[in-house]
Chain A
Amino acid sequence: MSELTAPAFSKPVHLLNMVDDIEIIHLERVDECCGFGGTFCVAEEAVSVKIRKDRVADHILHGAEYITDVDMSCLMHMEGLLHRDKSTLKVIHIAEILNGGIQ
């Protein structure tokens, strides 16, 4: 919630920082939406697709290898584009990481 001025604290990042060998990449837009939004992606397809494209591009620009999230639908939404583009960037749910999913 980069809009707020309270000291930033992210539980997911806090947890991820306890896992060895993970480097957290910082994005240009820390927490911009992925563009999914449930029925939004159906009602407003063009805009939804563009938001997703920009969100993924931000990760690629900063050399991310994985996109992780606590929200499955955001991940699936972005994964759709990564598959289509045959990108090497992968999505992974945070639970998979915390369960030792990246070997």
Chain B
Amino acid sequence: MKYDSPGRKLFLAGNYMFLTLLALTMLLPFLNVIAQSFSSPGAIDRGVVMFWPVEFTLAYYEHVFQDVSIWRAFGISVYITLLGTFINLAATASLAYPLSRPEYVGRKTIMVFILMTMIFTAPLIPQFILMRELSLVNTLWSLMLPTAISAFNLFVLRTFFAQIPNELIDSSRIDGCSEARTLWSIVLPLSKPALATVGIFYSVTNWNKYMDALYYINDRAKYPLQVKLRELLVNEGMTDTGNMAFEASSQSVQGVQMAVILVATLPIILLYPFLQRFFIHGMMIGSIKE
């Protein structure tokens, strides 16, 4: 590799160009959304807004901040993300720990039993009927309990826990720690990176939750942000009306939509630099095959 042939140089140049272009196609739509959310309706309408606001305005954001239902949906999403992720971590860690210990007889069978649920999933309606029977329909629990443990994240944590030397755990047992105490004071503190990874996966899933809310929540006052956002995207404009004339007349709506998109994405954008440190590692642990 000390000397690159002309063909190789050409390939490398092409490669850098291609990757840069690809990165731009991922970045530019988002910049376009940001620019539109700060541009006047007229400018959006004329199709002159590219990646920088034209005729700068904060009107859409004022509109969004004054809409109580958006704030309520935002609050519900924060709630199910915080409480939901806590439930996720507690439930996942408390199952992953026993499954990671050689003393747990039958753990292989149980792993197969869990793996099966990844390959063969129950149809929607029986799940819905179960939620009805449990009286969880129209409660925020319906967005947290049925997704308390993801098999993938369970395997990530279990693999990580299994790497903790058994001697360490035995010595804590000899010192008179109960299993729960061992888990809490030895295993969990040693597994902070894995917990962070899994916690990130869970919280992003919880924040982005849309389908479950569509299935289980009818009460508009309990809509999480994604459902509210979808409602704004559909009702005030484009996708479902499928009517170009209507769309053209409601252009100022597009600015509001772009502003809401940005508000809903902001928490993830702010956290992303911190997330990135962890998730790559987690993806790799999770994909290890036994």
Q: Does chain A bind chain B? A: no
